[in-house]
Amino acid sequence: MSETAPVEFAVYGLADAWPREVLTMIDGSGGQPPWGVTVGHTDGTRWVEVTTFGRARFDVAMRPEDDGRHELAFAAAHGQISRSLAVLTRLAIDSAPDLIRRLCEYAERQARGQSSWPRTIWTIIEGQANRRVRAYTNSFAGWESGFTTELPEQYLVVHAFGIAIDDLSLSAVNDPKSRYGLDPARPRLQQHIANYFPPAVGHVLHADQLAALAYGPDPESRIVWPAS
């Protein structure tokens, strides 16, 4: 999406500055305030993306069945799938014709079992005070992801590659325009994100992707696929 109504919630990012920081995603419907904003951090070998979902907008848009944990777990697991595919060459992706469908179904299975995901603790820096929050975590194909529901007005989802997701420090961003190129009044993705993500150099499927394929079709999948 190119532009939406103003962002209505505070956006979170890593507490410490990284060499390159960009706005990577805006989740929303045309003309409506976004329900999610993702900002990315990289030093060229490690990547960390922090997604902030405004609770009120997210709950309406995604209609979570519980307190949001299932939908957030799916966002985390599906995000891992998307990022693991992004580093594969087209030849590797085409080597398994049903790869994307099976991986999406794998993400659904992971989300259904989110209550058993490992827990960790993140630090939320709020001015001179720190808050410790519990996060549910998962890993796939080199990516570590997690989410927390313990902020009063936001849900947070984090994806990390090349760095452990445990004990992260996050904070609300005071000036998202200068730090990430996000103008909350006129949110728009910039073209400079094109070279942000890791390069597509994977010529073979990761062991985790092969393991997900081994599950076979998921009869409980809620995703509607075109008839083949």
pLDDT mean values, one per 10 residues, the chain (228 residues): 77 96 88 91 94 91 71 93 90 89 91 94 90 96 95 96 93 95 86 73 90 77 58
The answer to whether 54 and 8 are in contact (CB under 8 A) is yes
pTM, rounded to two decimals: 0.90
Strands (E), 36-189: 36-42, 47-54, 119-126, 129-140, 143-148, 154-161, 169-172
The answer to whether 107 and 77 are in contact (CB under 8 A) is yes
> Which of 166, 163, 174 lies closest to 133 in space, CA to CA?
166
pLDDT at 66 (0 to 100) = 59
* 37/194 Cα distance (integer angstroms): 17
DSSP element (H, E) containing 14: strand 12-14
Dihedral of CA atoms 62, 155, 81, 199 in degrees, nearest 10, equals 130
Phi, psi for 220 (deg, rounded to 5): -90, 5
pLDDT at 158 (0 to 100) = 98
pLDDT at 64 (0 to 100) = 60
pLDDT at 65 (0 to 100) = 59
pLDDT at 149 (0 to 100) = 94
Q: How far is CA 168 from the centre of its chain?
A: 15
